[in-house]
């Protein structure tokens, strides 16, 4: 049995990860400041004697004897990470320093939840890990993008200088049950709008693209990366589903799958919104023997079901 720390453990991805790690017989500590996370996501785990939930902010040092750390703490939706941009940078950078310091002290293996946002508005398509990215350091997304880029820099330097056992995963757009209904990201927005027959809000003309992976595929990718041997494969490795959609196509698909009467409305495109995004997952396939298994329609139907039940609870 391993003792595993999950920062951001009450969030969307973190809560799925805690469930999976507990089901494999590990002891899990979830750390969260509940900025975007929700106790509801992990309430069913609280009776498990091998699960601990601690209210803590990763910008402050934390100490525990643990074997592994998954560093997920950070708001991920543009609406939430832009709410307090300075805090977002602090969470990424000071959170990484604190967790890397802990990993160094107790000789834990540590995985960083990095992001496709390190590629910014990419000029290379699809994006391989070797691409350095195209990020506006002054733009409204930079608190997140640059914060995550510095976190990667910290990770690789703790490895080089201190031999900390690090892993970096660049996560592409992920969706699934337990996303917050007001999270502000496109999949949750469109599903909630479609289920309520409200206007579907496309930002811009909807020609920008994203590639969406279902959360179960991501969790299996994180697990494969953390447990991959030899340990000197540090990444970064892209984990995402290469099936690419325009945002307009996504809106149409969600309207179809929900049998919705919603109409589409077009709103201004936010500043620096990347025009295209699609992972090159050759490295994950070759090294980790990982590839996504859930088709978009299958994952979307599960997510629609989740939000449908959630909305029935509210109304």
> Is 80 among the residues that bind ligand UDP (CB under 6 A)?
no
33 binds, among ligand UDP, ligand NAD, none (CB under 5 to 8 A by kind): ligand NAD
Instruction: Give whichever of 133 and 266 is closer to ligand NAD, judged by the CB atom.
Output: 133
Peptide bond preceding 76: is omega within 30 degrees of 0, i.e. cis? no
208 binds, among ligand UDP, ligand NAD, none (CB under 5 to 8 A by kind): ligand UDP
* Residue 235 touching ligand UDP (CB under 6 A): no
> Which residue among 19, 33, 146, 214 contacts ligand NAD (CB under 6 A)?
33
Contact indicator for 287, 210 with CB cutoff of 8 Å? no
Annotated active-site residue 144? The verdict is yes
Q: Whose Cβ is closer to ligand UDP: residue 109's or residue 299's?
A: 299
Which one of residues 18, 29, 68, 75 is an interface residue with ligand NAD (CB under 6 A)? Answer: 75
**Nearest distance in Å: CB 268, ligand UDP:** 10
Q: Does 186 bind ligand NAD (CB under 6 A)?
A: no
Binding partner of residue 91 among ligand NAD, ligand UDP, none, CB under 5 to 8 Å per kind?
ligand NAD
Residues numbered 116-175 forming contacts with ligand NAD, rule: CB under 6 A: 171, 173-174
Site string for ligand UDP, 190-219 (x = CB under 6 A): -----------xxx----x-x---------
Of residues 127, 189, 211, 260, which one binds ligand UDP by CB under 6 A? 189
Among ligand NAD, ligand UDP, none, what does residue 132 contact (CB within 5–8 Å per kind)?
A: none
Annotated active-site residue in 119, 144, 175, 228 = 144
CB 74, CB 95: distance < 8 Å: yes
Cβ 36 to ligand UDP shortest distance, Å? 13
Is 174 a binding residue for ligand UDP by CB under 6 A? The answer is no
Q: Show the tokens assigned to 18.
A: 């805690």
Residue count of the chain: 315
3-state secondary structure the chain: CCEEEEECCCCHHHHHHHHHHHHCCCEEEEEECCCCCCHHHCHHHCCCCCEEEEECCCCCCCCCCCCEEEECCCCCCHHHHHHCHHHHHHHHHHHHHHHHHHHHHHCCEEEEEEEHHHHECCCCCCECCCCCCECCCCCCCHHHHHHHHHHHHHHHHHHHHHCCCEEEEEECCEECCCCCCCCCCHHHHHHHHHHCCCCEEEECCCCCEEECEEHHHHHHHHHHHHHCCCCCCCCCEEECCCCEEEHHHHHHHHHHHHCCCCCEEEECCCCCCCCCCCECCHHHHHHHCCCCCCCHHHHHHHHHHHHHHHHHHHC
Judge contact between 242 and 126, C-beta under 8 A: yes
**Of residues 13-32, those binding ligand NAD (CB under 6 A):** 13-14, 31-32
Say whether residue 36 binds ligand NAD (CB under 6 A): yes
Q: Please list the active-site residues.
A: 144
- Please give the residue ranges that form the binding site for ligand NAD (CB under 6 A): 7-8, 10-14, 31-37, 57-59, 72-76, 91, 95, 113, 115, 171, 173-174
Note the residues at the interface with ligand UDP (CB under 6 A).
Answer: 77-78, 173, 185-186, 189, 201-203, 208, 210, 247, 270, 273
């Amino acid at each position: 049995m391993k003792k595993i720390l999950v920062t951001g453990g009450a969030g969307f991805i973190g809560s799925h990860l805690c469930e999976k790690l507990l089901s494999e017989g590990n002891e899990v500590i979830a750390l969260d400041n509940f900025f975007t996370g929700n106790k509801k996501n992990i309430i069913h785990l609280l009776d498990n004697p091998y699960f601990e939930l601690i209210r803590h902010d990763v910008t402050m040092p934390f100490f525990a004897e643990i074997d592994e750390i998954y560093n997920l703490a950070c708001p991920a939706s543009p609406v939430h990470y832009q709410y307090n941009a300075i805090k977002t940078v602090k969470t990424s950078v000071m959170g990484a320093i604190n967790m890397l310091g802990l990993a160094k002290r107790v000789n834990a293996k540590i995985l960083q939840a990095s992001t496709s946002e390190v590629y910014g508005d990419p000029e290379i398509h699809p994006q391989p890990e070797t691409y350095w990215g195209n990020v506006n350091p002054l733009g409204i997304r930079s608190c997140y993008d640059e914060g995550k880029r510095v976190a990667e820099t910290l990770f690789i330097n703790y490895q080089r200088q201190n031999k900390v056992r690090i892993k970096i995963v660049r996560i592409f757009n992920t969706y699934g049950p337990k996303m917050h209904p007001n999270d502000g990201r496109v999949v949750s927005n469109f599903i909630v709008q479609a289920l309520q027959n409200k206007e579907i809000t496309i930002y811009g003309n909807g020609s920008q693209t994203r590639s969406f992976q279902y959360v179960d595929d991501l969790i299996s990718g994180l697990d494969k990366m953390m447990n991959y041997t030899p340990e000197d494969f540090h990444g970064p490795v892209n984990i995402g589903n290469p099936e690419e959609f325009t945002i307009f196509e996504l809106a149409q698909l969600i309207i179809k799958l929900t049998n919705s009467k919603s109409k589409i409305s077009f709103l201004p495109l936010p500043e620096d919104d990347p025009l295209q995004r699609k992972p090159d997952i050759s490295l994950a396939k070759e090294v980790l023997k990982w590839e996504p298994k859930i088709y978009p329609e299958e994952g979307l139907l599960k997510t629609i079901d989740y939000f449908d039940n959630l909305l029935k609870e509210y109304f």
